[in-house]
Amino acid sequence: MTDNLAALTATQLSDLYASGEASPVDTTRAVLDQIEAHNPTLNCFCLIDADSALATARDSETRWQKGEPLSAIDGIPVTIKDLTLTKGWPTMRGSRTSNPDAPQDEDAPATARLREAGAVLTGKTTTPEFGWKGVTDNPLTGITRNPWNPERTPGGSSGGASSACASFMGPLHQGSDAAGSIRIPAAFAGIFGHKPTFGLVPNYPLPGHIGNLANMGPMTRTVTDAALMLNVLASPDSRDSMAAPASAQNENYLNALDAGIEGVRIAYSPTLGENGWADDDVAAAVAAAAKILSDLGAIVEEVDPDIPPVRPIIEVIWAAADAWLVDQIPADKRELMDPGLVAIAEEGRKLSVTDLVGAHAARVELGNRMARFHETYDLLLTPQMPLEAIEAGKNVPDGRDMDQWVDWCPFTYPFNLTMQPACSVPCGLGSERLPVAFQLVGRHWEDALVLRAARAYEKAHPFAAAPGYV
How much is the pLDDT for 435?
Answer: 98
How much is the pLDDT for 1?
Answer: 45
Average pLDDT per 10 consecutive residues for the chain, totaling 470 residues: 86 98 98 98 98 98 98 98 97 96 94 98 98 98 98 98 98 98 98 97 89 96 98 94 79 96 98 96 98 98 95 97 96 96 97 97 98 98 98 96 95 98 98 98 97 98 96
CA separation for the pair 57, 32 (Å, rounded):
12
How much is the pLDDT for 343?
Answer: 96
Instruction: Tell which residue, 5, 40, 46, has the closest CA to residue 22.
Output: 5
Work out the number of other CB atoms within 10 angstroms of the CB of residue 464. Answer: 13
CA separation for the pair 70, 265 (Å, rounded):
38
Instruction: Tell which residue, 173, 76, 74, has the closest CA to residue 124.
Output: 173
CA separation for the pair 72, 76 (Å, rounded):
9
CA separation for the pair 406, 423 (Å, rounded):
18
The answer to whether 429 and 461 are in contact (CB under 8 A) is no
Residue 101 dihedral angles phi and psi, to the nearest 5°: -100, 25
Condensed to tens digits (0 to 9), the pLDDT of residues 155-176 reads 999 999 999 999 999 999 999 9
Q: What is the CA radius of gyration of the chain?
A: 21
Instruction: Tell which residue, 345, 388, 351, 383, has the closest CA to residue 153.
Output: 388
Torsion sign (Cα): 316, 321, 327, 332: negative
The answer to whether 106 and 149 are in contact (CB under 8 A) is no
How much is the pLDDT for 2?
Answer: 56
Q: Where are the domains of the chain?
A: 5-460
Residues belonging to the active site: 81, 157, 181
In the chain the first and final C-alpha atoms are separated, in Å, by 12
Say which DSSP state 196 is in.
P
CATH number for the domain running over 5-460: 3.90.1300.10
